[in-house]
Every structure is written in C-alpha cells, then in structure tokens.
Amino acid sequence: MKTIYMMVPLSILFVFLAVSLLPPDATASPNSCRIKAGNTDVYVRVFNRDPNGNPIRRDYDFGEVYRGVIKKGESKKITSSYGRIEYRYRSMSNSRGYGGNITLCNRGNTIRVP
C-alpha cells in the first residue's frame, strides 16, 4: 500500500516535467502557425479565412491578422480564427508581389516565404 502512495506523486511529477520540457511547437495552439522569411527581408500581409476558404471581411481591418516586415531568417507567429489563412508577400529587394496564397495555419506549422 505504501508503494501506491509513493507512485502517485512521482507519476504526477514525471508528467509535469515531461510536459514542461516539450518544445514550444509541440504544444502550439490549434489555430497558430509561423511565417518564416528566407534569404531576404519580406513584407507580409496575412488575412483570416473561414473553414471553407472564404475571406472573412470586417469593416475596420478586412480580416487582416498581420501586416509587417519579417527580417531575413526570422519568423512571426500568426494566430488565425479558423485555422486557414491567406498570405501575400513581397521581397524588400524586389517590387513584384505574390498574393492569393491560401493555406492551413494549425499546430504551429511553418510557412516559408522567399
């Protein structure tokens, strides 16, 4: 009986330590991801999409989740409403933009842009 009383606290301690040592991406929220810049600084705009891929438009921000520059090699955490986003990007060294990219944003996945 004494062994059982010792096993319960040790089991709880083991679970607590195991969860606290997991990498951050393993414990990421269901509707989050990271956008990572490649070899150059990138200007990025990210918009929410509904579960069917349709745009979510509001009067004040057009469903925009993020707008800004991501430096070379760095990443930005994005949280979406439904786990689906549209992103547009433009390299800071090039004037051509790329838009209409629709993808899943869930469980901390990484979206790489050039």
- Residue 47 is predicted with a pLDDT of 93
Residue 9 lies in a domain: no
Q: Say whether pTM exceeds 0.75.
A: no
Say if strands 64-70 and 42-49 run parallel, antiparallel, or are unpaired. Answer: antiparallel
- Average pLDDT for runs of 10 along the chain of length 114: 64 61 59 94 93 76 88 94 92 84 92 91
In a domain, 87, yes or no: yes
Domain count, the chain: 1
Domain hosting 51: range is 28-113
Q: 33 and 78 in contact (C-beta within 8 Å)?
A: yes
pLDDT of residue 84: 92
CATH code of the domain in which 105 resides: 2.60.40.2190
The answer to whether residue 34 sits within a structural domain is yes
pLDDT of 86 reads 92
pLDDT (0 to 100) of residue 23: 55
